[in-house]
Amino acid sequence: MEELCTGLCSVLADSGADAGLALFLSLLVGVLLVSGVPLITVILLIWIERKVAARIQDRIGPNRVGPIGLLQTIADMIKLLSKEDITPTAADRILYNAAPLVSFASVVLLWAVIPFTPFHFGVDLEIGALYFVAVASFGTLAIMAAGWASNNKYALLGAFRVVALLVSYEVPLVFALLVPVLLAGSMSLVDIVNAQNGMWFVILSPLAFVIFYISSQAETGRAPFDLIEAESELVAGFNIEYSGMKFGMFFAAEFLHVFTNGIIMAILFFGGWMGPFYYESPLIAFAWLGAKGGLIYFTTLWLRNTVPRLRIDQIMAFNWKFLVPLSIANLIVVSFVLKVMQELGFAPGDMLNASFAELLPTTIILLLFNGAMIFYLLGILRKRGREARREAHGAHANFAQAGSAAGH
Amino acid sequence: MELNAISIGFVVFTIFTLGGAIGVVTTRNLFQGTIWLMVSLFGVAGYFILLSAPFLAAVQILVYIGAIAILITFAVMLTRSIARIKERYIRLLPSFIGSLALFLILLLGVTVPIFGAHAPDSIPDYVASTRDLGAALVDENGYVVPFLLASVLLTAAMIGAIFIARDETA
Amino acid sequence: MVPLWMFLAVAAALFSIGVFGVLARRNAVAILMSVELMLNAVNINLVAFWRYSETGTDLLLNGYVFTAFVLIVAAAEAAVGLAIIITVYRNRRSVIPEEARALKG
């Protein structure tokens, strides 16, 4: 009990509070802080998303409510809250109402293991990386429940497609996640950040980062995998029957999930809080994490407003025929190379305290292998692209020929 | 049993586990049954945390809620005529009596040793970590052969499932 | 600390509920779910015995590892079982095990 009681708890206990009560209060404050940060962040995120989208599309974006439109989300929330809250008569009431909550909670729960600074995190779980995957599976469940409970065939069809997508892309996501775990020799997110003291994992294994980035785009339902809200085909998919704040919660969960994934990627591949002067103050460390996560988040917004949506069969074929074999091959190559280097004595046995110089040979060899794989893959892609272009061209020529023949 | 975080957790997880299990066997609607199954298995994951096996708890949630439950909901929705089955139960009374008798026998079996000499009332302080589990799984004196066999089993099950469920007309 | 027999009692109750489901339900999917309940009851027992066993300094991981294997088998069982249910449904339009008796002599 005593070792748990530090910081605020010890202050409370010293000022005469009951030990159990002091522990409970300090834990409560911690829980409220960790869950409060994402709730406040999401208000800002929606504004950023709309503003960035507007700039990319050569618009101004929200600029009426508050300074540079900052309070627009608050106004939207009031609008959503004051809307009529409709539950379809044939819906399964309990599941229908629980689904948005589970969806949002599955994202907020992720923040429990995120290390903000070397000393500030909700909890340093021994199995942090596995927790990340396990909690994210609640989101899939929420979508399935929402689609079924709405008792609407469009909602059900949308849920089917989305769940098939999410379950499929979980496979390369986990295989890519295993690479940082393997390099750090630990599943704890704090250990993973500490292991990047010498070298960021994105340099050691850029391919794993690319796979993780693509599959987390799919997991969050972002373009080009945004089947979750394929407005033009599915009239919004699984959340078609939702209105008011329940719809808003699905929406907020998605926005928050994208940003959370940015933070997770910063932790797994970009050294988390590491950066110049991070040891000076927790605020600087936190700023580094926020900046890295924000940059990755910005690229997803950029991508979303640039690329068109893929068809479901294209998405599935890309996953099972390209991403999954690639992620498995990448994992095998990285683990094999790392083990050989460690046996030969070129790589440090324990990555946790390895310095830059110790890691240099490993880095070069791993980069060479990654480069070879990327080169080979680009070759395959180029060949496929050329075939596809030739086919499209042939089809076009046939069509033109048929048209001119009919014309004569 | 004094009142502390662990005992409160035990009571809560018991309600989850047994309540969910009763929901699974009594509900008429199979989709709701799947949800109840997940509630129950979530409670079991909670027990694993109480028993200081967090790795198993995370795997339990990942495998059951992330994979098996989703599979079952897909199966429920693909076999829609399920809703047309009128009677839920067959041999209701004999099964109920049989399982109740089984429960009483098992309960007797687990409670009698309390009064014997070999009741372990304390738990060891040291507990194996996830790292120990990982080392044991690939240790040649440990469990490397069952581990490899399990991976073969999973591959075989995957190929078998795809082969059986494949629609041959398509 | 919660005494060992309480975990065992909960596991016994879970197992009995699973047995009841297997015996009494008509639907194959419901029977499969009941089997999952029974497997989990066994898992609770294995982990509880592992945690409460006195190991001294020597690490004894049998219960822990065995639970992991039970989870693997459960995943394999669910995949194959559901594939069989879907195939039977496709051929006979039924998910009631008693009606799938084409091979009965």
Count Cβ atoms within 10 A of the Cβ of residue B19 and give its class: 0-12 exposed, 13-18 middle, 19 or more buried. middle
What percent of chain C shows pLDDT beyond 90? 37
For chain C, the structural domain boundaries read: 4-99
Hunting for tokens 């280097």 — which residue is that?
A341
Q: Do B21 and C26 touch (CB under 8 A)?
A: no
Q: Could you tell me the pLDDT band of residue A2, with boundaries at 50, 70 and 90? A: very low
Instruction: Report whether A362 contacts A347 (CB < 8 A).
Output: yes
Give me the residue from B70, B129, B130 closest to A140, CB to CB.
B70
Among the partner residues A135, A145, A187, nearest to B35 by beta-carbon distance: A145
The separation between CA A360 and the C-alpha centre of its own chain, rounded to angstroms, equals 29
pLDDT at A313: 83
- To the nearest whole angstrom, how far is the Cα of B18 from the nearest Cα of chain C? 6
B55 CA: distance to closest CA in chain A (Å):
6
Chain A contacts of B62, Cβ < 8 Å? 130, 133-134, 137
Least confident of A204-218, A309-323, A340-354: A340-354
Mean pLDDT, chain B, integer: 83
Q: With pLDDT > 90 as the criterion, what percentage of chain B qualifies?
A: 32
- B124 contacts chain C (CB < 8 A): yes
Chains adjacent to A (≥3 CB pairs closer than 8 angstroms): B
Is A144 in contact with B62 (Cβ distance < 8 A)?
no
Give the number of B-C residue pairs with CB atoms closer than 8 Å.
247
Asked if the model's pLDDT at residue C99 lies above 50, the reply is: yes
Q: Tell me phi and psi for residue A175, to 5 degrees.
A: -65, -40
Measured between beta carbons, the chain A residues lying within 8 angstroms of B38 are 141
The nearest alpha carbon in chain A to B32 belongs to A95
Mean pLDDT value of segment A71-93:
84
* Chain C contact for B89 (CB, 8 A cutoff): yes
Arithmetic mean of pLDDT, B34-62 = 91
User: Nearest CA of chain B to the CA of A14: how many Å?
Assistant: 22
Q: Which of A245 and A215 is assigned the larger pLDDT?
A: A215
CB A103 within 8 A of CB A162: no
Token digits for B23? 């929901």
- pLDDT tier at C14, thresholds 50, 70, 90: very high
Q: How confident is the model at residue A165 (pLDDT cuts 50, 70, 90)?
A: confident
Cβ neighbors of C77 (< 8 A, separation 6 or more) are B157, C35
CA distance C48 to chain B (A): 7
Query: What residues in B contact A148, CB-CB < 8 Å?
Result: 31, 73, 77
Give B-chain residues touching A141 at CB under 8 angstroms.
38, 65-66, 69-70
DSSP A381: H
How close, in Å, is residue B131 to chain A by CA atoms?
8
- Residues of chain A with Cβ-Cβ distance to B44 below 8 Å are none
CB A107 within 8 A of CB A259: no
In angstroms, the CA A101 to CA A89 distance is 20
Among candidates B55, B66, B130 on the partner chain, residue whose Cβ is nearest the Cβ of A137? B66
Of B10, B30, B127, the CB nearest to C29: B30
For C4-99, give the CATH class. Answer: mainly alpha
- Whether CATH 1.20.120.1200 fits B1-85: yes
Indicate yes or no: CB of A163 within 8 angstroms of CB of B69.
no
Tokens 């033009």, residue located? A232
CA gyration radius, chain A: 24
Q: Does an interface of 3+ CB pairs under 8 Å exist between B and A?
A: yes
C83, B161: Cβ pair inside 8 Å? Answer: yes
Residue C12: pLDDT band (50, 70, 90) is very high
Inspect the structure and tell me whether chains A and C have 3 or more CB pairs less than 8 Å apart: no
Nearest CA in chain B to A156: B77
Write the ipTM: 0.88
The band of A405, judged by pLDDT with boundaries at 50, 70 and 90, is: low
- Going from the C-alpha of C22 to that of each of A33, B96, B113, the distances in angstroms are 46, 11, 29
